[in-house]
């Protein structure tokens, strides 16, 4: 049976805590996006056949986890890599789900994501794949933090502490500067560990109040203005932890884009997703055209080329289609 899996991108607004002085570490907030998407197809085979190097590695691991013979896997579409949209997690989970469904198996992505090297800090990508929406995950017990990174599979994906579907008319404007990729792989691991070891616990205290008193109520009430301003403040506070690692509260050139974009009356708040360089702002359908122009102007003001999109939030998660070509 041939299967196609389409998985949403995600924005990562930031973490609740990076300080070892508090009992819960990480705890991330983010939202799934309807576009762009990762699209993977798979059908049973006697071995792993795939011309995409990264997807081939995921497929090999997936066939081992599922105890199946193999799969023919194709990547029809994928997210821009390492720009802050969750490309690595969505590709890994889409491959796993496609291979599993092709063999009529349950993918159990939350259980198996760690074996694919995903969900070790943030649970937003896994939760977004499962069911979309705006998500706050529960983080990890701080006592489990180790000086060396654990081997793949040596963790569990953080549970979902809160989830809200966002209003149908909300939009997220994305400005994607043509810049070096964000931190990933070993470089990201090193930078994150350095940030954790030096993190000011006072920043986490400020974020805790922000999340409880502003972010979650705004998401529950569907108040776009309050939500946008609150998640933007969350990102700014997170940037204090990363400043030494990325060259400022926002990494260049994202900082200049954020500064310009947040001045537009068409958006409420602007920030950097994950390690960037992707910049987001919150708007709605009525202001989408104006927000698009503001994002284009922000890239021009930062003297960089790039792409601009205005997209809906995704409240469904990954879509699975059997026998897509029949």
Whether the predicted pLDDT of 169 surpasses 90: yes
Confidence of residue 298 (pLDDT cuts 50, 70, 90): very high
Confidence of residue 191 (pLDDT cuts 50, 70, 90): confident
How many domains does the chain fold into? 1
Number of CB atoms found within 10 A of residue 239's CB: 21
Give the chain's count of helices (H) and strands (E). 10, 12
Confidence of residue 108 (pLDDT cuts 50, 70, 90): very high
State both tokens at 201: 């616990």
Least confident of 35-39, 145-149, 190-194, 307-311: 145-149
Confidence of residue 293 (pLDDT cuts 50, 70, 90): very high
State both tokens at 235: 């990102």
Q: What are the φ and ψ backbone dihedral angles of 150, each rounded to 5 degrees?
A: -70, 155
DSSP 261: H
CA 279 to CA 172: how far, in whole Å?
A: 10
Percent of the chain with pLDDT over 70: 100
CATH of the domain at 244: 3.30.230.10
CA 259 to CA 154: how far, in whole Å?
A: 39
Q: What is the domain extent for residue 8?
A: 3-322
CA distances from 29 to 136, 267, 279, 297, 314 (A): 5, 20, 16, 28, 15
Percent of the chain with pLDDT over 90: 89
| pLDDT, tens digit (0-9, with 9 covering 90-100), for 236-259 | 999 999 998 899 999 999 999 999
- 3-state DSSP call for residue 105? coil
Confidence of residue 152 (pLDDT cuts 50, 70, 90): confident
The whole-number average pLDDT for the span 148-161 is 90
Tell which residue, 221, 14, 246, 34, has the closest CA to residue 128. Answer: 34
pLDDT of residue 326: 59
CA 99 to CA 5: how far, in whole Å?
A: 10
| pLDDT, tens digit (0-9, with 9 covering 90-100), for 253-290 | 999 999 999 999 999 999 999 999 999 999 999 999 99
Query: What single string gives the DSSP state of each residue in 151-192?
Result: PTTSS-PPPEEEEEPPPTTEEEEEEEES-PPPP-HHHHHHHH
- 3-state DSSP call for residue 145? coil
Query: What single string gives the DSSP state of each residue in 40-80?
Result: EEEEE-SSEE-SSHHHHHHHHHHHHHHT-S-EEEEEEE-PP
pLDDT of residue 149: 79
| pLDDT, tens digit (0-9, with 9 covering 90-100), for 120-143 | 999 999 999 999 999 999 999 999
Whether the predicted pLDDT of 40 surpasses 70: yes
Tell which residue, 137, 61, 129, 41, has the closest CA to residue 90. Answer: 129
CA 213 to CA 76: how far, in whole Å?
A: 42
Number of CB atoms found within 10 A of residue 265's CB: 9
Least confident of 21-30, 54-63, 91-100, 145-154: 145-154
Q: Is 186 exposed, middle or buried (0-12, 13-18, 19+ CB in 10 A)?
A: exposed
Tell which residue, 282, 212, 244, 222, has the closest CA to residue 13. Answer: 282
Q: What are the φ and ψ backbone dihedral angles of 151, each rounded to 5 degrees?
A: -70, 155
Mean pLDDT (the chain, rounded): 95
pLDDT of residue 155: 93
HEC sequence for 182-216: CCCHHHHHHHHHHHHHHCCHHHHHHHHHHHHHHHH
Q: Indicate the pTM of the whole model.
A: 0.95
């Amino acid at each position: 049976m041939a299967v196609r899996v389409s998985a949403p991108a995600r924005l990562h607004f930031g973490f609740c805590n990076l300080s070892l002085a508090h009992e819960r570490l990480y705890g991330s907030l983010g939202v799934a996006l309807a576009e762009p998407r990762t699209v993977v197809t798979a059908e049973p085979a006697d071995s792993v056949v795939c011309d995409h190097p990264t997807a081939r590695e995921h497929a090999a691991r997936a066939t081992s986890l599922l105890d199946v013979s193999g799969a023919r896997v194709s990547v029809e579409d994928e997210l821009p890599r390492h720009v802050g949209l969750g490309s690595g997690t969505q590709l890994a989970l889409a491959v796993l789900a496609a291979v599993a469904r092709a063999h009529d198996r349950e993918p159990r992505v939350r259980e198996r994501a760690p074996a694919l090297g995903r969900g070790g800090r943030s649970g937003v990508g896994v939760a977004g794949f499962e069911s979309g929406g705006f998500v706050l995950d529960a983080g990890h017990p701080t006592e489990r933090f180790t000086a060396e990174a654990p081997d793949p599979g040596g963790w569990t994906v953080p549970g979902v502490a809160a989830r809200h579907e966002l209003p149908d008319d909300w939009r997220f404007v994305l400005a994607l500067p043509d810049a070096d990729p964000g931190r990933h792989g070993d470089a990201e691991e090193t930078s994150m560990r350095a940030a954790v070891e030096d993190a000011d616990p006072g920043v986490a205290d400020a974020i805790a109040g922000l999340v409880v008193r502003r972010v979650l109520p705004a998401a529950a009430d569907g108040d776009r203005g309050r939500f946008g301003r609150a998640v933007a403040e969350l990102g700014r506070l997170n940037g204090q932890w990363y400043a030494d690692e990325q060259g400022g509260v926002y990494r260049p050139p994202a900082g200049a884009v954020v500064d310009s974009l947040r001045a537009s009356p068409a958006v409420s708040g602007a920030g950097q997703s994950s390690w960037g360089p992707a910049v987001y702002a919150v708007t709605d359908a009525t202001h989408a055209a104006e927000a698009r122009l503001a994002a284009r102007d922000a890239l021009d003001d930062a003297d960089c080329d790039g792409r601009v999109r205005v997209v809906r939030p995704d409240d469904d998660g990954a879509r699975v289609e059997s026998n897509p070509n029949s």
